[in-house]
Amino acid sequence: MAEPVSTTTATSTAPGDPLIGRVINDRFKVLSIIARGGMGKVYRAEQAPLGRIVALKVLQPNYNGESDPEFHKRFFLEASIVSKLTHPNTVTLYDYGQSSDNVYFMAMEYLEGRTLHRLLREDAPLEVGRALHILVQACRALREAHGHGVIHRDLKPANLYLVRHDDDQDFVKVLDFGLLKRTDETAEEALTQTGLFMGSPKYMAPEQIRGERVSLATDVYSLGVILFELLTGKVPFERSSSVNLLMAHVSDPVPTLVETNPLVQVPAAVEEIVYRCLAKRPEERYASMDELIAAIKHAGASVGRPLGSMSGEFINSLSGRVPTSGEGPVAPLTSTLPPPLPRAPTPRESLPAAPAVTPPPPAPEARRSPLLLGVGLFVLAVGLGVAIRLVAAPPPSAPAVVAPTVQVSLDSDPPGAEVLEGGVSLGRTPLRSAWTGARANPDTAHTLVFRHAGFEDHQVTLSGAQLTHVARLRPRVTDVPPMPVAPVEPAPGVEPVALPVAPRLRRPPRTAPRANAPQTPTGYRDNVY
């Protein structure tokens, strides 16, 4: 359906609209129009007798249902599914139905704010921490939907609405499940029609474009496009026609963030999220929203911002709300490490602590009553029996210790690089594995080397808590021959000077010196020049 717009600018009285002023099903009085599209409109209405303002989504009375015979069925399917979604980041559905004159309607939570599409037009590109904060909220809403077996299939900035919630200016509400698809549907049961284009070309996954079966990874791809646009202000693929744009999603390589916007500075962990979400093959993307949320939290630590404040899991932690079905357990925001393993108690620890014995004050010398003495002996016997039973009882069995497990996902560009750790080959990219035991310890550091013929080695150190990396290999530069050294020529006008060489003294034969002969150094004869 059409993109919702800010209620402060899009409302109007629209006196020519036949629904303005009408009461639908004796409950919803239509006040003004909020948004319109080819298949329906969204009105501002008041619900009686509660006096609550709602957003009333109504199918156009003159909509030609013959061109889309499944539309009415999809309309009620959307309403029935959305009514089961209760996550704070999903728009709330109050009521839905059909009037006596065939007006199909859904009464939803009335939102005051703006779409992410409008935010991008006004403020893009966004700061990295803010972009991750928005994305992780959308992931939490989709995690609940996926838990109910529902795929959105039309994720785009126009379907993510931002409202103010307490001190959070960017509280996300996921809208418009009108193109949703259940994961348990077969191809024959899916509510689609031949020739009916489902989705938005700028945000569609390759398998969706090819008409193949969609999966949870289809929503992951669309979120990758949205994150790319949040960080750069542009979608990864812009083409002159819709056909060329769709083909680019299918076959063209994803441009780098810096190529798209040279002014952006994005941490490597955030870049890895973008490129993995935008992988062409669904099996190379994140396998679930839980996995994507964990990666976003890990990347959020690199920008020093706690993600999802005053939203989603943070609200759950404040209110103690029990997570809804499919939402998963509530996890602390600032921790990306698994909980510590339970420690088996020792036999000494398994026994209850003995109560401290305080010696009674000395009693005065008096004759004790035989009744009191008997009661004391009975209590002593009971105490001894309990102590003997505690000592004899075997210690409770220790709880089973579950070895930690971490999923390993290593890729390279180009693929086929050999991954080594400590000189030992772990395989070639793309590498998918699961490590357990000491290798999966969150505190263990793994230094990996990606090696590919014709490319420089790529070395990275990863922790046991997050073994996900995409190595961007650089071609190896060939050796450059040394430059020839030119002979040194003498300066013009300067003649070379030959230095005199002293003659070598010759050793004379060993004879006795003549009488009255001049003395020369012993053992040498005179040299005459």
CATH code at 452?
A: 2.60.40
Q: Are residues 239 and 171 in the same domain?
A: yes
Q: What length is written for the chain?
A: 529
Residue 157 lies in a domain: yes
Q: Are residues 40 and 89 in the same domain?
A: yes
Which residue, 285, 318, 336, sits at the end of a domain?
336
Nearest to 155 by CA among 209, 108, 198, 92: 198
The 40-47 sheet, strands edge to edge: 23-24, 28-36, 40-47, 52-59, 104-109, 93-98
Which ranges in 50-202 belong to alpha helices (H)?
71-82, 116-123, 128-147
Q: Domain range holding 433?
A: 405-472
What's the mean pLDDT when you consider all of the chain?
75
Which residue, 321, 336, 351, sits at the end of a domain?
336
450, 451, 454, 457: CA torsion to nearest 10: 60
Would the pLDDT of 240 be above 90?
yes
pLDDT one-digit tens code per residue, 378-404: 656 556 554 445 444 455 554 455 556
Q: Are residues 165 and 43 in the same domain?
A: no
Residue 48 lies in a domain: yes
Is 154 a catalytic site residue? yes
pTM for this prediction: 0.56
Residue 30 lies in a domain: yes
Residue 79: the pLDDT is 82
Handedness of CA 11, 14, 18, 20 (dihedral sign): positive
pLDDT one-digit tens code per residue, 456-486: 999 988 877 778 888 888 888 765 555 655 5
Angle CA 267–272–275, to nearest 5: 125
Residue 488 lies in a domain: no
Give the 3-state secondary structure of residue 273.
helix
Residue 440 lies in a domain: yes
Tokens 């609550």 correspond to 52
Strand (E) or helix (H) holding 132:
helix 128-147
Average pLDDT over residues 159-179: 89
Q: Alpha-carbon distance 318 to 23, whole Å?
A: 39
Q: Alpha-carbon distance 327 to 314, whole Å?
A: 14
483 versus 432: the higher-pLDDT residue is 432
Residue 508 lies in a domain: no
Q: Are residues 142 and 270 in the same domain?
A: yes
| List 68, 101, 154, 219, catalytic entry | 154
Which residue, 336, 365, 384, sits at the end of a domain?
336
Structure tokens belonging to residue 277:
């979400």
Strand (E) or helix (H) holding 128:
helix 128-147
Give the 3-state secondary structure of residue 120.
helix
Q: Are residues 119 and 45 in the same domain?
A: no
Number of structural domains in the chain:
3
Residue 383 lies in a domain: no
Nearest to 132 by CA among 323, 238, 255, 266: 266
The one-letter code for the residue type at 357 is V
Angle CA 108–142–256, to nearest 5: 120
How sure is the predictor about 346, in pLDDT bands with cuts at 50, 70 and 90? very low
Residue 406: the pLDDT is 76
322 versus 413: the higher-pLDDT residue is 413
Average pLDDT over residues 22-42: 88
Structure tokens belonging to residue 81:
């599914």
Residue 15: the pLDDT is 56
- Which phi and psi (to 5°) does residue 183 adopt? -75, -15
Residue 181 CA, distance from chain mean position: 24
Whether the Cβ atoms of residue 121 and residue 158 lie closer than 8 Å to each other = no
Q: Are residues 271 and 243 in the same domain?
A: yes
Would the pLDDT of 297 be above 70?
yes
